Amino acid sequence: MTTPASASRPPRAELHVHIEGTLEPELAFELAARNGVALPYPDPASLRAAYEFEDLQSFLDLYSAAMSVLRTEADFADLTRAYLVRAARAGVRHAEISFDPQAHLVRGVPLEDVVNGIAGVLERSEAEHGITTLLIAAFHRDRDSADALDVLERLLAADAPIVGVGLDNAEVGYPPGLFQAVYARAEEAGLRRTAHAGEEGPAQNIRDALDLLHAERIDHGIAVVDDPELVARVVAEQVPFTVCPVSNVRLRAVPALAEHPLPAMIEAGMLVSINSDDPPYFGAYVDDVDDAVTAAFDLTREQRAALAAASFSGSFLPPDRVAAYL
């Protein structure tokens, strides 16, 4: 008899999760009522039923629309708390959480309300949820990079408690090189650097994120398998890749979990972790992702432990803190 995956779930870090993408339909309706915002669905079940996506853009359209309910510092605090409660159940012991400052600024929500709402809850996360956390400000690659630079300067001036920067939203047509100045400024300010690359776009975007942005970590990065030379490089450099297999299936970047390149990435010796990305939208928190890949690829206990260990070693924690988790 095989042991259910849940019985032996290893502790892990989650390195790729968008806090706005953790908004459950029930909380969306609660916040909509609190803020007098109308959602174009009659109830949470109808909103959840709309989570059928053709590609990244069709997801981003709904994700952006649902965000309209997030208006106050308390909303961002409630959103963050709900994620931490669920992540603790999933076995998450450390989370590196992204937020999209531009998505809120364009709606007139003050930057400090967003940052204070999220960071105020993260401050108490270790004591209240047993999860250490780091916060990442992600910029929209389909917006002008001058806007990203401006927001970065505002975050730095406010001494916002961020560990690093990321790059997300539509990938095709918006290559990493557009954001060289933003990443150079982040590096100069001592911030860590990750970037979505090779999700819907080509392997060249991964190479450019490493070479032009000095990205220390790659989010998704599944296109790497199209470029054996790049695979050899990221294996040699042990560049962490935060892979989100269920997200990739739900956004049709891969046709089915069985065809996902995760096993090839592991087999090659890459430093890969598994992550949820936007859990309610894709119907899977990181424990569900663990169950799904364990079943799809018949992963051994050792392979699952290696994925969990890579989640800590690919984190932005200092080496002594990583060692304490391993």
Q: Which of 199, 208, 216, 287 binds ligand HPA (CB under 6 A)?
A: 199
Binding partner of residue 194 among ligand HPA, Zn ion, none, CB under 5 to 8 Å per kind? none
Determine whether 199 is an active site residue.
yes
Q: Among the candidate windows 106-114, 182-190, 229-237, 277-285, which touches Zn ion by CB under 5 A? A: 277-285
The residues, any chain, with a CB within 8 Å of residue 212's CB and separated by 6 or more, are 176, 177, 180, 183
196 annotated to a ligand binding site: yes
Radius of gyration of the chain (CA): 18
Q: Which of 277, 279, 286, 289 binds Zn ion (CB under 5 A)?
A: 277
Beta carbon of residue 17, minimum distance to Zn ion (angstroms, whole number):
8
Residue 201 vs residues 49, 65, 147, 209, 283: alpha-carbon distances, Å: 28, 24, 23, 12, 24
**Using CA atoms, how far apart are residues 166 and 175, in angstroms rounded to an integer?**
14
Tokens 């032996």 locate to: 8
Does 56 engage in binding with ligand HPA (CB under 6 A)?
yes
Beta carbon of residue 305, minimum distance to ligand HPA (angstroms, whole number):
26
Q: Which of 75, 113, 277, 287 binds ligand HPA (CB under 6 A)?
A: 277
Does 168 engage in binding with ligand HPA (CB under 6 A)?
yes
H/E stretch holding 179 reads none
Residue 216 vs residues 169, 186, 222: alpha-carbon distances, Å: 19, 12, 16
| In the complex, residue closest to Zn ion by CB | 277
**Using CA atoms, how far apart are residues 88 and 78, in angstroms rounded to an integer?**
16
The token pair at 240 is 């962490």
Binding partner of residue 293 among Zn ion, ligand HPA, none, CB under 5 to 8 Å per kind? none
The token pair at 263 is 């096993």
214 annotated to a ligand binding site: no
Does 196 engage in binding with ligand HPA (CB under 6 A)?
yes
Beta carbon of residue 256, minimum distance to Zn ion (angstroms, whole number):
20
Task: Find the DSSP H helices in 202-285.
Answer: 203-211, 228-237, 245-250, 262-268, 279-282
277 annotated to a ligand binding site: yes
Residue 160 DSSP code: -
**Using CA atoms, how far apart are residues 107 and 101, in angstroms rounded to an integer?**
10
Beta carbon of residue 7, minimum distance to ligand HPA (angstroms, whole number):
30
- Number of H helices and E strands in the chain, helices first, is 17, 8
- In the shown chain, the binding pattern of residues 220 to 259 toward ligand HPA, with x for contact by CB under 6 A and - for none, equals ---------------------------x------------
Residue 243 vs 271, nearer CB to Zn ion: 243
Give the phi and the psi of residue 210 in degrees, each rounded to 5.
-70, -45
Q: Which of 78, 278, 287, 290 binds ligand HPA (CB under 6 A)?
A: 278
The token pair at 71 is 């208006």
Please identify every residue annotated as catalytic: 199
| Positions at the binding site for substrate | 278
Per the annotation, where are the binding residues? 16, 18, 196, 277-278
Q: Which residues of this protein are in contact with ligand HPA, per CB under 6 A?
A: 18, 21, 56, 168-169, 196, 199, 247, 277-278
Which residues are documented as binding site for Zn(2+)?
16, 18, 196, 277
